[in-house]
Structure 1
Amino acid sequence: MADRGFDLEGRLDTLKDHDLKRALSPVDRVAERGYFAEPSGGELPVLESAEALVFASNNYLGLTDDQRIQDAARQAAATVGTGAGASRLVTGDTMVHRDLERLLAEVKGTERALTFSSGYAANVGTITALEPDVVFSDELNHASIVDGCRLADADTVVYDHCDAASLRSALEERADAAARAGRDPTDESWLIVTDSVFSMDGTVAPLEEICDAAEAVGAWVMVDEAHATGLYADGGGVVQAEGLEDRIQIQMGTLSKALASQGGYVAGSADLIECMVNDARSFVFSTGLAPPAAAAASEALHVARHGDARERLWENVAHLRDGLETMGFDVWGDSQILPLVVGDREDAMALADGIRERDVVAPAIRPPTVPEGTSRLRVAPIATHDENDIIDCLEAFRAAGEEVGLL
């Protein structure tokens, strides 16, 4: 009988042949330092004896082991429960969810906000629920945006990364094509989608110019603030830093990065949120966010707004960037994410191995995750790294860079 299954062994062999097979390497805690285990497949992992500094986490404000956030999660578990138990539309809607959504709307300057089980679910659910005819998408947008466009069956027009002129050209070309075909382009719904901070390049989208382009043709703008939420003005994102709340129709973000929890959110008008509640399949058909996660995110958002973690983060970013560039490394980006671009895949992996041998963790990112010739180490300090941690990181990069021949 023919085997109509799947050649999993062949797939894995192909990944190995192209040096693309990845493996899990658990750590004992999510913080600025920890004990890691060697990749162990399905076996019980054994933690290494040496503690390593973590410079690869999205825990930007270092709040995952903050006592206040942990206490909020414990209290929610004790009073509300460990899980929502059902979709929010059934019995999974709690006051903990409503409190978090109220705070998110306040920070984002919108009428309402809605939480999802993940940032991926928030992007996919929102784009598919809107059912846009055309999506104009930055070429480096997150995979969840790409998949949302596919599932929405929208015509997707990709414009050059962080290039408002390319976006304007794409908008004009679409309008011209519609006119040549005898269609009225105003009959189509147009959505422009961009990350605000791009996770692999550390670049920041030119949001004001994007809004200008959108308003010229009546398009809506959706901004993914996953890597910005909590880090900018009043605990908001780039949208808040640039005062663009009234010009951007949809703000999306995650609770799992600077806010030290799990889940995603969408913020916008009351009508937008009502549509998401009723039409976003990833919301309707998912169990509600776990109450401890919602409570942890609420407390983290409060700490981000009113504490000094944001200032400490940006001080560490400036110190680390200055040190790496002074050594001669090529550091891209304009945000808290510092892509140290090496170029050659093997050199990047050797550099990552070199700093790991010196108890610093910042894995190599290589094609196809990033374009050929731009292999890099994605370096991300967090607020709870102290000055000695930054110095130790810089010393590890200097020694490993000299060893590999990059300095």
Structure 2
Amino acid sequence: MADRGFDLEDRLRTLEENDLKRVLSPVDRVAERGYFADPSGGELPVLDSAEALVFASNNYLGLTDDQRVQDAARQAAATVGTGAGASRLVTGDTMVHQDLERLLAETKGTERALAFSSGYAANVGTITALEPDVVFSDELNHASIIDGCRLADTETAVYDHCDAASLWATLEEHAERASRAGREPADESWLIVTDSVFSMDGTVAPLEEICDAAEEFGAWVMVDEAHATGLYANGGGVVQAEGLEDRIQIQLGTLSKALASQGGYVAGSSELIECLCNDARSFVFSTGLAPPAAAAASEALHVARHGDARERLWENVAHLRDGLESMGFEVWGDSQILPVVVGDRRDAIALADGIRERDVVAPAIRPPTVPEGTSRLRVVPLATHEQGDIVSCLEAFRAAGEEVGLL
């Protein structure tokens, strides 16, 4: 009988031969430092005896082990329950969800917000619910945006990364094509979608210029603030830092990064949220966000808005960037994400291994996650790193860089 299954061993062998196989490496806690275990292959992991500094986490404000955030999750679990138990549209909506959404809307300067089970679900659900005729997408947008466009079966026009001129030219080309076909602007719905902070390059989208282009051509703008929420003005994102709330129709983000929890959100007009409640399949057909996760995110957002964690983060970012660049490393980006670009994937792996031997964790990022020839270490300080931690990280990079021959 013919075998119509899958040759998984060959797939894994190919990944290993191309230095592309990834493995799980458990850690004892999510914080600025922790004990890691070697890949266990399904067996119980054994933690390393040496504690390592973590410079690779999206826990930007270091709030995952903040007592206030943990207490909020515990209280929600004790009073509301550990899980929502059903879709929000059935019986899974709680006062904890409503409180989180109220605070998100206030922070993002919108009428309402809606919490999803993940940021991925928020992007996919929003794009598929809107069903735009054309999406204009930055070439480095997150996979969830790309998958949302695919599931919506919409025409997708990709413009050059963070290039407003490329976006403008792409919009103009489509407008001319529509005009030749006899279609009026009102006949089509256009949506421009971009991340605000790009997770692998650390770049920041030119949102004001994007809004200018959108308004010229009558398009809507959707901005994913996954790596910005909580870090900018009043605990908001780049949209708030640039005062663009009234020019951007849809703001998204996650609760799983700076807000130290799990889930995603969409913020916008009341009409937008009502439509998503009814038409976003990833919302309608998912169990509601767990109440402890909603409560933790709400408290973390409160801390981000009213504490000093944001200032401490940006101080650490400046110190680390200056130190890396002064050594001669090429550091990209304009945000808290500091990609140390090496180029060759094997050199990147060797550098990551070298700093890991010195108890600093910042794994190599290589193709297909990033383009060939741009392998890098994605280095991210946390607000909870002390100055001595930053110095230790820099010393590890210097020693490993010299050992590998990069310095």
TM-score when scaled to structure 1?
0.99
Partner amino acid, structure 1, of 2:144: S
Query: 1:18-71 CA deviation, whole Å, 9 max, x = no partner?
Result: 111111000000000000000111111100000000000000000000000000
Counterpart Cα distance in 2 of 1:86 and 1:369: 35
AA partner of residue 225 (structure 1)? E
Q: Secondary structure at the match of 1:36?
A: coil
CA distance in 1, matches of 2:224, 2:300: 19
Amino acid of the residue matched to residue 172 of structure 2?
Answer: E
Which residue matches 1:150?
A: 150
1:346, CA displacement in angstroms? 1.0
Q: Helix, strand or coil: the match of 1:266?
A: strand
How big is the shift at 1:399? Answer: 0.4
Write the deviation string for residues 165-203 of structure 1: whole angstroms up to 9, x where unpaired. Answer: 000000000111122233334311000000000000000
Structure 2 equivalent of residue 91 of structure 1: 91
Residue 366 (structure 1) aligned with residue 366 (structure 2): yes
Supply the AA of the counterpart residue of 1:137.
Answer: S
Amino acid at match of 1:65: D
Within 2, Cα distance between the matches of 1:405 and 1:4? 48
What do residues 255-294 of structure 1 show as CA deviations (whole Å, max 9, x unaligned)?
A: 0000000000000000000000000000000000000000
1:12 deviates by 1.4
Corresponding residue of 1:265: 265
Q: Distance in 2 between matches of 1:362 and 1:189?
A: 42
CA distance in 1, matches of 2:17, 2:325: 34
The letter for the 1-side match of 2:106 is E
Structure-1 separation of matches of 2:38 and 2:380 = 22
Measured in 1, the distance between the counterparts of 2:183 and 2:238 equals 36
1:69 paired residue number: 69
For the pair 1:10 / 2:10, whether they are aligned, the reply is yes
* Higher mean C-alpha displacement, 1-10 vs 201-210: 1-10
For structure 2, list consecutive stretches of 5 or more residues without a partner in the other structure: none
**Match of residue 52 from structure 2:** 52
Say which SS state the counterpart of residue 157 (structure 1) adopts.
Answer: strand
Match of 2:212 in 1: 212
Length, aligned pairs only:
407
Task: Verify: 1:172 aligned to 2:172, yes or no.
Answer: yes
Q: 1:399 maps to what in 2?
A: 399
Determine the C-alpha separation between the residues in 2 that align with 1:185 and 1:302: 42
Measure the CA separation in 2 of the matches of 1:18 and 1:358: 26
- Name the SS of the counterpart of 2:31 in structure 1: coil
Deviations 1:109-167 (A, max 9, x none): 00000000000000000000000000000000000000000000000000000000000
Note the C-alpha offset of 1:16: 1.5
Structure 2 counterpart of 1:124, one-letter code: V
Please give the residue correspondences for 1:208-357 in structure 2 after superposition, counting only pairs within 5 Å. 208-357=208-357
CA offsets 1:374-394 (integer angstroms, 9 cap, x no match): 110000000000000000000
Whichever residue aligns with residue 229 of structure 1, its letter is: T
Looking at structure 1, the residues matched to 279 and 227 of structure 2 have their Cα atoms a distance apart, in angstroms, of: 26
What is the DSSP-based 3-state SS (H/G/I as helix, E as strand, rest coil) of the residue aligned with 1:114?
Answer: strand
**C-alpha offsets along residues 180-230 of structure 1, whole Å, 9 cap, x if unaligned?**
233334311000000000000000000000000000011000000000000
- My pick for the range that moved more, 343-352 or 277-286, is 343-352
**Residue in 2 aligned with 1:20?**
20
Residue 82 of structure 1 corresponds to 82
Query: Separation in 2 of the partners of 1:9 and 1:133?
Result: 41
Percentage identity across paired residues of the two chains: 89
In structure 2, distance between residues paired with 1:186 and 1:404: 58
- Partners of 2:85 and 2:132 lie apart in 1 by 32
Give the Cα separation in 2 of the matches to 1:328 and 1:18: 28
Please provide the CA RMSD for this pair. 0.7
- Normalised TM-score (structure 2): 0.99
Aligned partners of 2:266 and 2:2: how far apart in 1?
47
- What amino acid maps onto 1:231 in structure 2? L
Corresponding position of 2:42: 42
Q: Secondary structure at the match of 1:370?
A: coil
Distance in 2 (CA, whole Å) between partners of 1:217 and 1:314 is: 36
- Structure 2 residue identity aligned to 1:87: S
Cα distance in 2, alignment partners of residues 100 and 2 from structure 1: 54
What SS is found at the alignment partner of 1:376? strand
Q: What residue is the counterpart of 1:32 in the other structure?
A: 32
Match of 1:385 in 2: 385
What amino acid maps onto 2:24 in structure 1? Answer: L
Separation in 2, partners of 1:248, 1:299: 26
2:239 partner letter: V
Residue type matched to 2:133 in 1?
Answer: D
The more displaced of 175-184 and 317-326 is 175-184
| 1:248 counterpart letter in structure 2 | I
The residue identity in structure 1 corresponding to 2:18 is: H
In structure 2, what is the Cα distance between the partners aligned to 1:399 and 1:89? 56
Aligned residue identity for 2:167: L
CA distance in 2, matches of 1:231, 1:183: 42
Q: Which amino acid aligns with 2:377?
A: L
SS at match of 1:50: coil
